Amino acid sequence: FADKTLAGKKVLITSGPTFEPIDPVRGITNISSGKMGYALARACRDAGAEVILVSGPTALAAPVDVTRIDVTTAQQMHDAVLAEAARHDVFIAVAAVADYRVANRSEHKLKKQGAAPTLLLTENPDILAAVAALPNGPFCVGFAAESQHLVDFAEAKRKKKGVPLLVANLVQTAMGSDANEVVLLDDAGQHPLPIMGKDEVAAAIVHHLARQLNAKQGQ
């Protein structure tokens, strides 16, 4: 890495799925592998940034020279991120955060007896929207995994959450895979990238992000 485009910057990243307990042995999760977020953590580190990676449960090894904070639930991820966000220059929300958690979680293992249990769901906080709303907060980058109408749904999400840069990817291509095909969305419009390995996609995102960040700071 010849150009340290993020030298001196502090970058906070979320990655992986969250796990929302139903009882002590069961829970609700999703198929996110964490690979894209971990690739971004390495790419930011290689670009000279100091990186904290807040990770949901994954099978991946912590990247060298990156501080990893392990969390399980969306609420824990929210609390870890909000404790750190204000002193970071960049926040990249890659995690596939559960929209809902179980409100009637059981302290003891549910037994198979009588009627099927009913799970009551309650909404989780939106971590990215919370960070994007901080006064003088970090430059925020969001991800959108969609299964259809990729660019339209993703651009609507960018506007709604108030983030300057959003990475749109198709669920079918992105989740679990080693490769990804993304479209970067910002105020200047759409920037489609070719299908590449996640390390190359991460390097391209860092390149784009560093340019936007430096342009913003030069204002």
Residue 186 interacts with ligand C5P (CB under 6 A)?
Answer: no
How far apart are the C-alpha atoms of 176 and 35, rounded to whole Å?
Answer: 7
Rule CB under 6 A: say whether 93 interacts with ligand C5P.
yes
- When binding is defined by CB under 6 A, the residue of 36, 39, 44, 128 that contacts ligand C5P is 128
Q: Does 144 bind ligand C5P (CB under 6 A)?
A: yes
Is there binding between residue 32 and ligand C5P (CB under 6 A)? no
127 binds ligand C5P (CB under 6 A): yes
74 near ligand C5P, judged by CB under 6 A:
yes
Query: Which one, 47 or 85, has the nearer CB to ligand C5P?
Result: 85
Which lies closer to ligand C5P via its Cβ, residue 30 or residue 106?
Answer: 30
Measured CA to CA, the distance from residue 170 to residue 167 in angstroms comes to: 10
143 is in an annotated binding site: yes
**CB 116, min distance to ligand C5P, A:** 28
Task: Annotate the chain with three-state secondary structure.
Answer: CCCCCCCCCEEEEEECECCEEEECCEEECCCCCCHHHHHHHHHHHHCCCEEEEEECCCCCCCCCCCEEEECCCHHHHHHHHHHHHHHCCEEEECCECCCEEECCCCCCCCCCCCCCCCCCEEECCCHHHHHHCCCCCCEEEEEEEECCCHHHHHHHHHHHHCCCEEEEEEHHHHCCCCEECEEEEECCEEEECCCEEHHHHHHHHHHHHHHHHHHHHCC
For residue 180, state whether it binds ligand C5P (rule: CB under 6 A). Answer: no
Say whether 3 counts as a known binding-site residue.
no
From 39, 80, 97, 210, residue interacting with ligand C5P (rule: CB under 6 A):
97
Region of residue 74 (phi > 0: left; psi between -120 and 50: alpha; otherwise: beta):
alpha
Residue choice 70, 79, 89, 126 for contact with ligand C5P (CB under 6 A): 126
For ligand C5P, the closer CB: 144 or 185:
144
The distance of closest approach from Cβ of residue 142 to ligand C5P in the complex, given in angstroms and rounded to an integer, is 4
Is 169 designated active site?
no
User: If binding is defined by CB under 6 A, does position 41 make contact with ligand C5P?
Assistant: no
* Contact footprint for ligand C5P (CB under 6 A): 14, 74, 93-95, 97, 124, 126-128, 142-144, 157
Catalytically annotated residues = 30
